[in-house]
């Protein structure tokens, strides 16, 4: 849309939004040079099944924070397999901000993320495993403690285990006590692990 002088931002946004309401047009608007148009397109694509792939692609190159936020909101509302896979792929990005945004979005999708969590926690990349533990921090799912126990009993990477122990100190129950003792024995030469495990044991015993 041509730039119209003397119109306030809200009027411009409303006119931009009226230009394209059908899904094919919204997909085209997602790459519009105007950030307002992209933002409205990202918002309205929630009503377009199959839009997740385009939203993920735009997310990876979108420079405007406000547009990225709307894209992430729409992806979480769509919550389909493509949206979840796209968020997982963002965990492998070199862009720290994008990784953190993907982690926060995945936390809002406990039922959709749960089926793939085991695979994420055993990913070949230890960074992905750490980010996956970070997802568990606010993931409202009954198996969070079980997944964390699996990490500290099966993962050989000290940083992955340390991240899991930090979270276990907050959500752990009596079920985590023996695995934490085993972890201490496994990493007996790692001072931080000893400290973190002892802290988790103390907190669990106090609760």
How does pLDDT run across 122-179, given as a tens digit for each residue?
999 999 999 999 999 888 889 999 999 999 999 999 999 999 999 999 999 999 999 9
Which of residues 89, 108, 127 is at a domain's end? 108
Q: Are residues 6 and 91 in the same domain?
A: yes
Query: Could you tell me which of 40, 60, 42 has the C-alpha nearest to residue 51?
Result: 42
**pLDDT value for 12:** 45
**pLDDT value for 7:** 43
Q: Are residues 122 and 150 in the same domain?
A: yes
pTM greater than 0.95 (yes/no):
no
Q: Is residue 64 part of a domain?
A: yes
Q: Are residues 1 and 75 in the same domain?
A: yes
Mean pLDDT across 64-91: 97
Are the CB atoms for 180 and 197 separated by under 8 Å? yes
Render 151-188 in DSSP notation, one character per residue.
HHHH---HHHHHHHHHHHHHH--GGGHHHHHHHHHHTT
CATH number, domain at 28? 1.25.10.10
Q: Is residue 16 part of a domain?
A: yes
Cα Dmax for the chain: 70
Which of residues 108, 127, 147 is at a domain's end? 108
Q: Are residues 99 and 131 in the same domain?
A: no
Which of residues 80, 108, 136 is at a domain's end? 108
Q: Are residues 130 and 91 in the same domain?
A: no
Q: Is residue 113 part of a domain?
A: no
Residue 8 has pLDDT above 90, yes or no: no
Q: Are residues 122 and 83 in the same domain?
A: no
Mean pLDDT across 71-100: 96
Backbone Cα Rg of the chain: 21
Q: Is residue 181 part of a domain?
A: yes
CA distance 149 to 16: 51
Range of the domain at 79: 1-108
Q: Are residues 46 and 136 in the same domain?
A: no
The string of pLDDT tens digits covering residues 12-61 is 455 545 444 799 999 999 999 999 999 999 999 999 989 999 999 999 99
Q: Are residues 1 and 25 in the same domain?
A: yes
| Number of domains observed in the structure of the chain | 2
Residue 6 has pLDDT above 80, yes or no: no
Q: Are residues 22 and 65 in the same domain?
A: yes
CB within 8 A of 104, min separation 6: which ones?
72
């Amino acid at each position: 849309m041509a730039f119209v002088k003397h119109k306030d931002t809200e009027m411009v946004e409303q006119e931009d939004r009226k230009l394209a309401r059908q899904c094919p047009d919204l997909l085209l608007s997602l790459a519009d040079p105007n950030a307002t148009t992209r933002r409205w397109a990202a918002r309205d694509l929630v009503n377009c099944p199959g839009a997740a792939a385009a939203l993920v692609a735009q997310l990876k190159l979108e420079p405007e924070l406000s547009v990225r936020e709307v894209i992430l909101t729409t992806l979480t509302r769509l919550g389909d397999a493509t949206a979840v896979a796209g968020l997982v792929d963002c965990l492998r990005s070199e862009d720290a901000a994008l990784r953190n945004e993907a982690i926060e979005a995945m936390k809002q999708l406990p039922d959709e993320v749960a089926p793939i969590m085991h695979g994420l926690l055993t990913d070949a990349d230890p960074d992905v495993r750490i980010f996956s533990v970070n997802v568990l921090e606010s993931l409202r799912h009954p198996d969070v403690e079980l997944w964390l126990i699996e990490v500290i009993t099966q993962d050989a990477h000290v940083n992955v285990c340390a991240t899991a122990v930090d979270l276990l100190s907050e959500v752990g129950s009596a079920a985590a006590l023996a695995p934490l003792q085993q972890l201490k024995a496994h990493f007996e030469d790692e001072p931080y692990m000893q400290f973190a495990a002892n802290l988790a044991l103390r907190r669990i015993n106090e609760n």
